[in-house]
Amino acid sequence: MDTPFSTLIRTASHEQHAEAESTTFMSDLLGGALGVDAYARYTEQLWFVYRALEGTAGPLASSPVTAPFIRPELFRLPEIERDLAHLRGENWRARLSALPATQAYADRVAECAQSWPGGYVAHHYTRYLGDLSGGQVIRDKAEKAWGFTRKGDGVRFYVFEGIENPAAFKRSYRELLDGVRVDELEKQRIVGECKLAFALNTDVFKALGEEFSSAA
């Protein structure tokens, strides 16, 4: 009953985290088995997700539930766009397309952003705390596998210029989660949405795995 909400949400999504992490696409990508095209295609999918997360940040800033979470230093869309210009060329928007699984994920984020602040918090946590954590592993591998400049174009998505100390930031983020202004029942619903957020990520990885296979 007294478990801090940050612990609750982390523990509850532990299994889904392991599943997302161990999808064939992620293992192949991190194992150096895929080309830069697969990495670029994945980055394109992230563009749709972050547009849904950040495109609606205005109204969310006025809800007492979401407002403390809306931190400009987290915004990723400009960085993704710079990465895509590097990966796909200046004309990157012309060939951008969402996989059906990505569209479903982005639609769900947008729906929460418009009508359910608690649900939005679940998606916010799942993405940004993940990017600040495991995202760093992905950056390191990507730099080595495809020769991007350290923390430069191609991997800027993973570089939070405005966050000097990620460990301290994550601690303060967990405090925000612990103080989220909702009742116990709503906390349970947020945990449920977090599990869905992980499942939606896994679906995107599975779809990417069908498009790019190390065995192909």
Report the site for ligand HEM in 109-148 (rule: CB under 6 A): 125-127, 129-130, 133-134, 137
By Cβ distance, which residue is nearest to ligand HEM? 134
Q: Is 17 annotated as a binding residue?
A: yes
Task: Report if residue 30 touches ligand HEM, rule: CB under 6 A.
Answer: yes
How big is the CA angle at 170 (ends 164 and 174), to the nearest 5 degrees?
Answer: 150
Interface stretch with ligand HEM, choices 13-21, 64-72, 88-96, 103-111 (CB under 6 A)? 13-21
Determine the residue type at 149: T
197, two tokens: 């957020």
Instruction: Pick the closest to residue 205 from 56, 24, 77, 80 (CA basis).
Output: 24
**Which one among 26, 46, 60, 208 touches ligand HEM, defined by CB under 6 A?**
26
**17 lies in the site for ligand HEM, by CB under 6 A:** yes
d(CA 30, CA 137): 8
Given a contact cutoff of 8 angstroms between Cβ atoms, the answer to whether 73 and 96 are in contact is no
CB of 192 to ligand HEM, least distance (A): 15
- Residue 174 assigned ligand-binding role: yes
Residue 153 vs 178, nearer CB to ligand HEM: 178
What is the identity of the amino acid at 34? L
Q: Check residue 73 and report its DSSP letter.
A: G
End-to-end Cα, the chain, rounded Å: 50
181 is in an annotated binding site: no
Contact flag: residue 198 with ligand HEM (CB under 6 A): yes
**Whole-number minimum distance, CB 94 to ligand HEM, in Å?**
27
In order, the DSSP letters of 79-139 are HHHHHHHHHH-TTGGGG----HHHHHHHHHHHHHHHH-HHHHHHHHIIIIIHHHTTHHHHH
Minimum CB separation of residue 89 from ligand HEM in Å reads 27
According to the annotation, is 125 in a ligand binding site?
A: yes
Give min distance, CB of 81 to ligand HEM, in A.
20
Going by the annotation, the residues of the binding site for heme b are: 10, 17, 125, 174
Interface with ligand HEM (CB under 6 A): 10, 17, 20-21, 26, 30, 125-127, 129-130, 133-134, 137, 170, 198, 201
